[in-house]
Each structure stands twice: as C-alpha cells, then as structure tokens.
Structure 1
Amino acid sequence: MNGVSTVKAIFEELRKEIPERYQPGDLLPNERLLAERFGVSRNTIREVIIFLEAYGLVEKTQRGPRVSKPDIEAMFRILDQCFDRSVKTCREVLQFRRIIEIGVLPEVVRHITDAEIDGLDRLAEDMEHQLTVREAAEVDFRFHAAIVAASRNSMLQKMYQAMSQPMIYYMEIGKSNAVIGPTTVNYHRQIIAALRERSVGKAVEASNAHFHFSESVFNQEAQPSATPTP
C-alpha cells in the first residue's frame, strides 16, 4: 500500500476500535506502540492521529492520544463538507429548512422572549442596509437561526448551524435582484408580528408564505438561460 492508503487503513481500524474498546478519557497506546502494532513509522502514526483529532475522536496530551467525549459539533462540521452546490442540493436544503423551521414554531412561540423578538426586528432592519449579496444572505441566515435558537432545543440549533454554509449559499440566490431583498424583509416582518402575538397559527402561515416565495425565486433563478437563436 502507498502512504495515503496505509494512513487511511489504520485510521479506519482505529476509528471502529475506539468506541468499542475505550471510554472517554482513556489513553490510546503511544506512537511507538502503535507504530510497532501496525508495522509502520511513527510519522505515519502521527498522520493517523491528526485524522482522529479532526474527527473529534481523540485529543493530544503529553502522555499520548486521549479518547475524547463524543463531539456532536465536530460530526456536524464534517457533515457540512459533504454538501455540493447543485440544484438538487439547494432544493433539499430548502426542504430541510421548511421541515425544521415550521416544525419548531410551537416551541418557539412557547419560549421566545420580547428581547429575542426585538433582536429579530434588528436583524430585519440590518438586512435592508447590507451592501453585498453575501452580507444580506448572512443576516438572513442569522434571522432564521435566531428563530430556531428560541425553541431552546440545543440539538436543532447545532444541526442548523452545521448547515450554515449550504444555507447561506442558497440564500444568496436571487438576492442580487433589487425586488427580492425588500420582499424577503417583508416576510420576515410578518413572521415577527406573528411571534409578537404568540400565535402559532399565524407564525406557521407567515413562514409557509415565506418558504413558498423562496421556492418560487429559486425555481426562477435555477432555470437555464435561453440559448439565443443564431
């Protein structure tokens, strides 16, 4: 096997072995012992440890690699790297958002504070004054992430944050259109008004209208340009 294949093979074996044989806080064998076990150099083992660290499985200590506590956020960060920028993925991102954001609204209405609603108002205002498409998309994401955060469900918050880059990329689509930005802000204000009333029904209605508009914009922008006739 070449060097890359060797590192990958050892990594895969240890990745499966760690949760089966070790508890968080346990030390793995040191570099010398691992090198002897697998019949490779210590440099190869160091590369393997780097991958194990990147996956949140171990952390380096002076006594050797120590098994980490399960790191959900690290897993989600790795998941984020799996998304491409295809039309299919963007549609799936929108579907993911609709499922999460509509489904979480009863808990949002139950827990959201006046201060958090005021924060949503400020984000809506910020979106009106952004200079670039990217800035507007980032504020748009922060608005929706703040709504999810108001549910007090930490797992949903982590999942939503892990999807930040594909979501922001999706949100950039269409924001170069001078009409779409203000329309999006109007939908945000309708959602805010429903949350101020603590009305789940109105919040769901406003959010569904917002998603329907977003979907129509995406479908329009995703259409291939017509080929001019010669």
Structure 2
Amino acid sequence: MIAARGMIEEITAALGANGLILRGGIAFAASEEAPHGPSGAPARSVLLVGQAGAAPWPYFQRWREQQPQTIANPLDSWSRQVIGAVAQTFGARAVSPSDKPYQPFQQWGMQAEGLKPSPLGILMHPQYGLWHAYRGALLFEDDLSLEAVEPAIHLCDSCVDKPCLKACPVDAYSAQGFAYRSCLAHVRGAGGEPCRSGGCLDRNACPYGADFRYPPEVQVFHMAAFAGL
C-alpha cells in the first residue's frame, strides 16, 4: 500500500508537468472482464488521467507549435504522447478514449470519482462543474489497493431551472438524448457563429464550476474539432 501510494504521488508529479491530473482509479474485480495490461495479461487496476479547466492548454500549444500544421487530432496525439511516456516510466499500459476497442471511460469516471451524468451527458463534478475531461488512463497488472470512493454531491439534483437545457437554438439536448445531427448542422450553418466563436451555449449556461470554464480560444478549438471546421 505504501509503495503504491508513493508511485501514485510520482505519477501525479509527472502528469502535473504537463498540466494533467490523476482523476482517481478503480480496481477490477476478479470476475470482471478487464482490458489487458502492458504484458497482455488482464489489468487489475486503472488510474484515470485528465484535466480540470484548461490547465494543459499552454503545454499543448507549445507542443503543437513544433508539429506539422496538418497533423490530425492534435490534442489526442499530444495526450497519447504525454500519457504514454508516463505509462512507460511506471510500467503501465496507456489507453485513450478514442482508442478502439473503446474503453468505458465514463463508467470508470463514475466509479473512480463518484460522479453522475449531467443533462448534457457530461459528468458533473462538484468542483469543476462541466469543465473537465478524461484524456487517458493507465492500466496496471498490479493491485494498487485503491480505496472505494463515496458518491459525490450531484449538483444537478438541486438545480431547478436547468439552464443547460434552454440555451441551445436547436434544442440539441433533451430527455431523448443528444440530437447530434441537428447540433452539427446548426454549428456549420449560417446561424452557428455564436457556437463556433463561444462554444456550446448549453454547456456555458451551466452556473457551476465557473472558475474552471474553458477560455474562448479553447472552446473554439473544441467546437472546430467537433464540427470538422
């Protein structure tokens, strides 16, 4: 347990050098079908890597300036490089949310941090609100003796007005789910300039985690990546 705690502290420091943070972890049950670790054997533990607010943005931008402008999915590429280096140092296998076969990052996050989804589908964090993300995970073949996490306060439960469901011009989010095609058509269309220049209006309408809200340039980047602009 002491050795694992020391390693986790070292991993935290290594990730922090690029603005990333550990977002908790879980141990896989013996009966659970877990993804494989670095040697190909089933993993026994996973640590989630992510961000709070836009902390990684300056590090990513400096890296991006040194890359070909035509590089596809630069944020994914940067995340893989940074998290992959940490995985190699500490004997883990790195996986990304965009890797196939897709890993259940949202379920892992709910278990590791005790979170629940917001009406927008993004997990609501009691401190960061909707302004956080998972960038990857570290899979270990050792049991890291991770402690169980209590459910976090779910801010959406006490939010009566639900402004996150009222700002979108095309009502992309509803009880029926996310209307992906309607959202995409609007963002790409003549009326989508507010979304292209300011980010998702529904997400920005949420009052929680305002101190961690992504700056405009970060929201523009993510919206352009989503819409293929």
Give the structure-1-normalised TM-score: 0.25
Larger helix share, 1 or 2: 1
Higher relative contact order (Cα pairs below 8 Å, separated by 6+ residues): 2
Larger strand share, 1 or 2: 2
Give the structure-2-normalised TM-score: 0.25
